Structure 1
Amino acid sequence: MNEYSVLIAEDDDQIAGVLADYLAQDGFRTQRVADGGAALRAILAGAPSVVILDVMLPVMSGLEVCRAVRASSAVPILMLSACGDEEDRLDGLNCGADDYVCKPFSPREIVARVRAMLRRADPGLRTGAQPQAAGFVLGGPADRVLWDGRPVPFTRVEERLFRTMAAAPRRVFTREALLNAMHQEFRDISERAIDTHIKNLRRKVKLLAPERGFIHAMYGVGYYFEDKPE
């Protein structure tokens, strides 16, 4: 048994049971709740390592829970939904989810995604020189982006986008170029979704240094990284 706990917020008892079994086999501690109100209380009270959150929950929807959690917590959230069109995925990402998986899914894939989210969420500061950009420590692929020694609460997609642009300051990346930089790991992302991720990324960065701008748009072309006053 490892030290990580996963909260499963799912009102389908069979799905929740399968997920709990697969996660337990991989060494995770699990907790199950079946409605949004219980999920929110458990997240705020129990500080799980990862949350698996169904969109369609009684009492409070998964989207409502996610928004409420994001007001005070950066806990990794994997959202599950029977709806798989682009608008639904964008809704999940806009409310602060780190990942989004459509039903039906492979339980083994969920376990792998949970592990990937934990790798992203663990500050795991490495020794030695770290690549930097305008005060951000970019680290390697398994590291978090740091600001003032603390991990920035980017989702894994936002973090990949930020690294891509920050590693080449003032280079303008088209949406297509940013999509290509996502590689196969994020093959479901569309050009429209890139805009949503960039919007969320810029909002988070703005909270770190309100007087400075880092991610900028070049109208009709794309986005670029540059440290300059707002």
Structure 2
Amino acid sequence: MCAYILVAEDDKKQAGLIHRYLEHEKHTVTVVHDGRAALEEVRRQEPDLLILDVMMPKTDGLDVVRILRRETDLPVLLLTARSTEDDLLLGLDLGADDYMTKPYSPRELMARVRTLLRRTRHAGLPDGSFHVGGLTVDPIRYEVRQEDRLIDCTPGEFQILAAMAAEPNRVFTRPQLLAAIHGSGRYITDRTVDVHIMNLRKKIEADPRQPAHLLTVFGVGYKLTDSPASTQGPHRAG
């Protein structure tokens, strides 16, 4: 699973350590030390994955994610010294696919890299398109359409939607959805799924505050349904 990976980290010692570990796993690596250089490099040659420090000079990592999400669905793994839940969820809300808080284990970082690359390359996704709730989810083309409109999804959002569309009306717990997007949910909180669901509702629901198809089943998790919400059993929109 060799890939081209861009590392944006202003701490040159940390950047060098990440570089060595990635090269050991046979990846091609470019390192930059500020957010502006990260944007320029992505636009010059888009990598398979961006490992992005949050606190960087010129343009910080969150602004880099905000800008990139208007241009590409490139997978982004944030590295952050900010450990509060609000800071971490802001990164996910802007479109990052995963995050790690400093200090971190290089071996765990490599495990996250492998997971993101597998996910992006569609490993484990079933063949064929799924049609549910007015959506067409195509794992082969990596597309989501609502009638003729193409829905722009991050890799994490796509994996959640593909897993749910493959089994309409099934109630998925948060750990099950974490497993769909990360292979294992032991490193991150259930709030990761909640943020992805909230962002998906903004993209696919006519009224995200009163979702008709991507529903919360109170006390259990979420489901994707063809039927209007009003005909379903008890649920909440939150």
**Common fold, TM-score beyond 0.5?**
yes
Q: How far does residue 227 in structure 1 lie from its aligned partner after superposition?
A: 2.9
SS of the counterpart of 1:186? coil
1:93 paired to 2:92: yes
Alignment correspondent of 2:137: 136
Residue 155 of structure 1 corresponds to: 155
1:10 aligned residue: 9
Residue equivalent to 1:203: 202
The Cα of 1:178 is off from its aligned counterpart by 2.2
Q: State the superposition RMSD in angstroms.
A: 3.5
Aligned length: 215
Q: Which residue does the alignment assign to 1:179?
A: 175
Distance 2:221 2:114 in 1: 32
Segments of structure 2 that go 5 or more residues without pairing to the other structure are 230-238
**Which deviates more, 46-55 or 116-125?**
116-125
Identity %: 37
Change over 3 Å in CA distance of 1:89–1:125 after alignment to 2: closer
Cα distance in 1 for partners of 2:198, 2:5 equals 28
Report the TM-score when normalising by structure 1.
0.76
Q: Is there any run of 5+ residues in structure 1 with no aligned partner, and where? A: none
Counterpart residue number, 2:32: 33
**Contact 1:90–1:193 at 8 Å: present in 2 too?**
yes
Q: Secondary structure at the match of 1:6?
A: strand
User: Given that residues 54 and 62 in structure 1 are in contact (C-alpha distance below 8 angstroms), is that contact kept between their aligned partners in structure 2?
Assistant: yes
Check whether the contact 2:49–2:76 (CA below 8 A) recurs between aligned residues.
yes
**Is 1:82 the equivalent of 2:55?**
no
**1:226, 1:120 → 2: CA distance?**
24
1:176-206 alpha-carbon deviations (Å, 9 max, x no partner): x323553581234445443312012233446
Deviation at 1:170, TM superposition (A): 3.1
Residue 49 of structure 2 contacts residue 75 of structure 2 at CA under 8 Å; is this kept in 1? yes
Q: How big is the shift at 1:44?
A: 1.5
Instruction: Report if aligned partners of 2:66, 2:95 keep a CA contact under 8 Å in 1.
Output: yes
Q: 2-side partners of 1:56 and 1:100: how far apart? A: 13
Cα distance change, pair 124–27 in 1 and its aligned pair in 2 (3 A) = same
Judge conservation of contact 2:178–2:193 (CA < 8 Å) in 1: no
